[in-house]
């Protein structure tokens, strides 16, 4: 019984593969490029399951690798069979896709059972397991859009988006320069710095803190993005207006978090600094700012996504003829959906890189914090 | 009585001072930004006015660069209280449209967030593989592509409330998931062990221990989520397809340079946000009390 529970993914996959055999071939009768590979792929899934039974006693690493190879070879074969048969796939095809997905799921769960001692191996696994998940989102997306023949306008397959990205690198780069290197960075630096400075001021002057904090808390819940049209009116169509929107959006989270962080130190630590006869600025730089760093980095992280959103949305209200928001709004008007998705992918990668860089800096700065140990 | 004057000095007075300072700065800004246009206007019309008259004129332009606070307040008052609720110009009507998609999106986002969190806490594979993608999902500037999502969904005849609510859902599930994962894992080892000695299964542990323990976390993240839902709903109304809502009001104002309208819509959105967050806060306190927390005890 235990053995069945442990292997239920692969056993279910084999049952599906056998069920698929009754619905062969992979393509509908009216397909242009009928395929006879269905038997082979189903056999691949069954062989993977049998291999797994043979290696029942071995550790999760080997079992995970077998499953990983089996699942992805079958998926590759299935996708190759799609070519020329968009929208003409039979039930057998989708059953086999589900079976390979089960195998991939099983491999991920075998890998997450693994608890390696080596640090490098641990880091590798921490990347591999989410990577399997991400890869299957793409695989299922590709299979569903092309297998069912979903209209291109509604959702283009990832392969088409990838080709579009590769084909328009120059345009994407120009947009990234306009939106991210000019608008986002300028606004992010100005907004975060001014938020930080005001927070220090508010910390110094208690009256200011009592007055600003309720307003700051309220403001960080407000739809500040609505100032975008006003800023475009004030600062013109170029990147300055977008930087202004980003500045306003990033200011309040920074202010609120920094003030909260500055009060994070205990009385004991402050008293200790007092016994050292340290003055305000010494206490600030040696004790309270370092203690506030987790909060400040939290704001920097929140702001990194806010900044990107602010700049792109502000571009909907008027831009020169370059920029990510401009490109999205014009290309959707021309129904070039793959270009829009290419911009989205670019923005997501840029956003993740931005976030990742800040997270790395956080690790370096707040190495002492319990959450990074 | 002593308590009350203390409260005034420590809370109301500073806030009031800052608000007055902001209003004063706003008036000065309105004068400075609108003066040059007014001067132009006066010169062309061959009008000479005293400084006081001139000042009054900068505050009474129909399409100022920066409207004065009282202009915005007047617009807000007229469009909120003097118009029929069904009228296209009533802010209450637009606020209602935005509110309904916010509420639907928030409900769906919260449900989705809780479901994902329960999955993550119970299935190791999900924990390992899903969590990084959930964080990555928020670096996709979905707010920026919201108008596109609306247009595309409109192309396959999904229109009305649902597309806007979907944007709100996407924005609001994230804080709930993160907060609930933390909350469901918040019970101490001791409590988990105790409930194990009672021979409770995973479901019973979830219902009797994990869920009750996660309530404070849930409400804290719901406050963030409802604000995010509102932002999502407003931005989703930006494409020309949306005929009503705070967002469409903003866009219309931007097209026709009706600055006073823009500011009024902005303030209406802010009031809505404040109301919603307060509402969630009140609900949190009520639930807290129903679950047996002492009235004086502060919610975590």
What is the full DSSP assignment across B215-227? HHHHHHHHHHHHH
C-alpha span between B88 and B84 (Å, rounded): 9
Q: Is the pLDDT of residue B54 over 50?
A: yes
DSSP bridge pairs for A27: A89
- Could you say which DSSP state residue B243 is in? -
Q: Which long-range contacts (CB under 8 A, 24 or more apart) does B185-192 make?
A: B185/B121, B186/B213, B186/B214, B186/B217, B187/B213
For A25-54, the pLDDT digits (tens) are 777 777 676 666 777 777 777 777 777 777
Residue B1: pLDDT band with limits 50, 70, 90: very low
C-alpha span between A144 and A150 (Å, rounded): 8
> What's residue A37's pLDDT?
73
> What's residue A373's pLDDT?
52
Please give the residue of chain B at the shortest CA–CA distance from A332: B148
Return the CATH fold of A166-372.
Answer: MetI-like fold (1.10.3720)
Please give the residue of chain B at the shortest CA–CA distance from A308: B141
A357: contact with B, CB 8 A cutoff: no
Residue A185: pLDDT band with limits 50, 70, 90: very high
> What's residue B242's pLDDT?
55
> What's residue A335's pLDDT?
79
Phi-psi region of B165 (alpha: psi -120 to 50; beta: other; left: phi over 0): alpha
Q: Which of A237, A255, A260, A263 is nearest to A317 (CA)?
A: A237
Cβ contacts (< 8 Å) between A354 and chain B: which residues? 139
Residue B14: pLDDT band with limits 50, 70, 90: confident
Cβ-nearest to A229 among B140, B253, B277: B253
A112: contact with B, CB 8 A cutoff: yes
Q: Is the pLDDT of residue B240 over 70?
A: no
Cβ-nearest to B130 among A133, A154, A230: A133
Residue A246: pLDDT band with limits 50, 70, 90: very high
For the segment B257-278, the average pLDDT, to the nearest whole number, is 86
A348: contact with B, CB 8 A cutoff: yes
> What's residue A291's pLDDT?
87
Q: Is the pLDDT of residue B300 over 70?
A: no
Encode chain A in three state secondary structure. Answer: CHHHHHCHHHHHHHHHHHHHHCCCCCECCCCCCCCCCHHHHHHHHHHHHHHHHHCCCCCHHHHHHHHHHHHHHHHHHHHHHHCCCCCCECHHHHHHHHHHHHHHHHHHHHHHHCCCCCHHHHHHHHHHHHHHHHHHHHHHHHHHHHHCCCCCCCCCCHHHHHHHHHHCHHHHHHHHHHHHHHHHHHHHHHHHHHHHHHHHHHHHCHHHHHHHHHHHHHHCCCCHHHHHHHHHHHHCCCHHHHHHHHHHHHHHHHHHHHHHHHCCCCHHHHHHHHHCCCCHHHHHHHHHHHHHHHHHHHHHHHHHHHHHHHHHHHHCCCCCCCCHHHHHHHHHHCCCHHHHHHHHHHHHHHHHHHHHHHHHHHHHHCCCCHHHC
> What's residue A312's pLDDT?
85
> What's residue B163's pLDDT?
84
When the pLDDT of each residue in chain B is averaged and rounded to a whole number, the result is: 82
Q: Is the peptide bond before A153 cis (omega within 30 degrees of 0)?
A: no
Q: Is the pLDDT of residue A94 over 80?
A: yes
- Give A 89-108 residues with CB within 8 A of chain B: 105, 108
From the CA of B139, how many Å to the nearest CA of chain A? 5
C-alpha span between A315 and A299 (Å, rounded): 24
What is B91-290's CATH number, 3.40.190.10, 1.10.3720.10, 3.30.420.40, 3.40.50.1360? 1.10.3720.10
For the segment B185-202, the average pLDDT, to the nearest whole number, is 89
Question: Coil, strand or helix: which one is B254?
Answer: helix
> What's residue B108's pLDDT?
94
For B23-52, the pLDDT digits (tens) are 888 888 888 888 888 888 888 877 777 778
Percentage of chain B modeled with pLDDT above 70: 92
B14:A229 CB<8 A: no
The answer to whether residues B278 and B270 touch, using CB atoms and an 8 Å cutoff, is no
DSSP bridge pairs for A221: none
For the segment B76-87, the average pLDDT, to the nearest whole number, is 76
For the segment A57-73, the average pLDDT, to the nearest whole number, is 80
For the segment A324-347, the average pLDDT, to the nearest whole number, is 84
Per the model's pLDDT, the better-predicted residue between A219 and A353 turns out to be A353
C-alpha R_g of chain A = 27
The answer to whether residues A165 and A345 touch, using CB atoms and an 8 Å cutoff, is yes
ipTM for the predicted complex comes to 0.75
- Give B 190-209 residues with CB within 8 A of chain A: none
* Domain spans of chain B, in order of start: 2-66, 91-290
CA distances, B232 to each of A155, A167, A222, A223, A286 (Å): 21, 32, 11, 9, 41
């Amino acid at each position: 019984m235990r053995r069945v529970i442990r292997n239920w993914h692969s056993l279910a996959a084999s049952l599906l593969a056998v069920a698929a055999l009754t619905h062969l071939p992979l393509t509908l009768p009216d397909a242009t490029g009928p395929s006879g590979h269905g038997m082979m792929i189903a056999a691949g899934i069954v062989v993977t399951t049998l291999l797994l039974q043979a290696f029942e006693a071995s550790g999760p690493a080997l079992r995970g690798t077998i499953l990983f190879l089996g699942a992805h070879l079958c998926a590759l074969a299935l996708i190759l069979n799609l070519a020329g048969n968009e929208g003409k796939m039979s039930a057998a095809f989708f059953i086999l896709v589900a079976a390979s997905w089960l195998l991939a799921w099983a491999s991920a769960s075998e890998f997450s059972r693994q608890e390696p001692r080596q640090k490098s191996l641990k880091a590798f696994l921490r990347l591999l397991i989410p990577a399997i998940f991400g890869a299957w989102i793409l695989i299922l997306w590709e299979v569903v859009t092309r297998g069912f023949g979903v209209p291109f306008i509604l959702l283009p397959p990832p392969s088409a988006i990838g080709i579009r990205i590769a084909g328009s690198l120059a345009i994407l780069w120009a947009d990234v320069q306009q939106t991210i290197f000019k608008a986002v960075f300028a606004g992010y630096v100005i907004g975060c710095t001014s938020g930080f400075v005001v927070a220090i001021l508010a910390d110094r002057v208690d009256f200011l803190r009592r007055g600003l904090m309720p307003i700051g808390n309220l403001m960080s819940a407000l739809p500040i993005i609505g100032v975008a049209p006003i800023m475009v009116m004030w600062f013109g169509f170029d990147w300055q207006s977008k930087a202004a929107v980003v500045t306003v959006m990033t200011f309040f989270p920074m202010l609120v978090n920094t003030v909260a962080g500055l009060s994070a130190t205990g009385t004991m630590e402050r008293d200790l600094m007092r016994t050292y006869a340290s003055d305000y600025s010494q206490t600030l730089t040696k004790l309270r700012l370092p203690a506030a760093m987790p909060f400040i980095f939290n704001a920097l992280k929140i702001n990194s996504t806010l900044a990107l959103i602010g700049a792109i949305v502000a571009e909907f209200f008027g831009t020169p003829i370059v920029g990510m928001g401009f490109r999205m709004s014009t290309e959707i008007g021309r129904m070039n959906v793959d270009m829009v998705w290419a911009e989205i992918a670019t923005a997501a990668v840029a956003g993740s890189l931005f976030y990742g860089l800040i997270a790395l800096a956080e690790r370096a700065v707040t190495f002492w914090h319990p959450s990074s140990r | 009585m002593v308590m009350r004057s203390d409260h005034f000095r420590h809370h109301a007075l500073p806030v009031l001072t800052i608000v007055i300072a902001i209003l004063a700065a706003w008036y000065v800004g309105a004068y400075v930004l609108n003066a040059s246009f007014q001067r132009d206007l006066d010169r062309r019309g061959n009008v000479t006015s005293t400084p006081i008259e001139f000042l009054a004129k900068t505050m009474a332009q129909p399409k100022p660069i920066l409207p004065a606070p009282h202009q915005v307040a007047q617009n807000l008052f007229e469009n909120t209280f003097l118009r029929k609720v069904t009228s296209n110009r009533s802010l209450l009507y637009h606020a209602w449209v935005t509110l309904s998609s916010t509420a639907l999106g928030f409900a769906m986002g919260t449900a989705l967030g809780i479901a994902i969190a329960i999955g993550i806490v119970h299935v190791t594979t999900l924990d390992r593989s899903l969590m990084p993608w959930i964080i990555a999902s928020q670096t996709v500037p979905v707010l920026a592509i919201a108008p596109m999502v609306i247009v595309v969904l409109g192309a396959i005849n999904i229109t009305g409330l649902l597309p806007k609510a979907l944007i709100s859902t996407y924005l609001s599930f994230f804080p709930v998931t993160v907060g609930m994962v933390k909350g469901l894992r918040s019970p101490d080892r001791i409590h988990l062990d105790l409930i194990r000695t009672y021979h409770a299964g995973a479901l019973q542990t979830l219902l009797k221990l994990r869920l009750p323990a996660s309530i404070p976390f849930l409400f804290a993240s719901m406050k963030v989520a409802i604000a995010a839902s509102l932002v999502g709903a407003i931005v989703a109304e930006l494409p020309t397809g949306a005929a009503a809502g705070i967002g469409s009001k903003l866009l219309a104002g931007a097209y026709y340079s009706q600055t006073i309208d823009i500011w009024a819509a902005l303030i209406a959105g802010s009031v809505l946000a404040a109301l919603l967050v307060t509402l969630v806060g009140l609900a949190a306190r009520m639930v807290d009390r129903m679950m047996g927390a002492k009235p004086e005890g502060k919610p975590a």
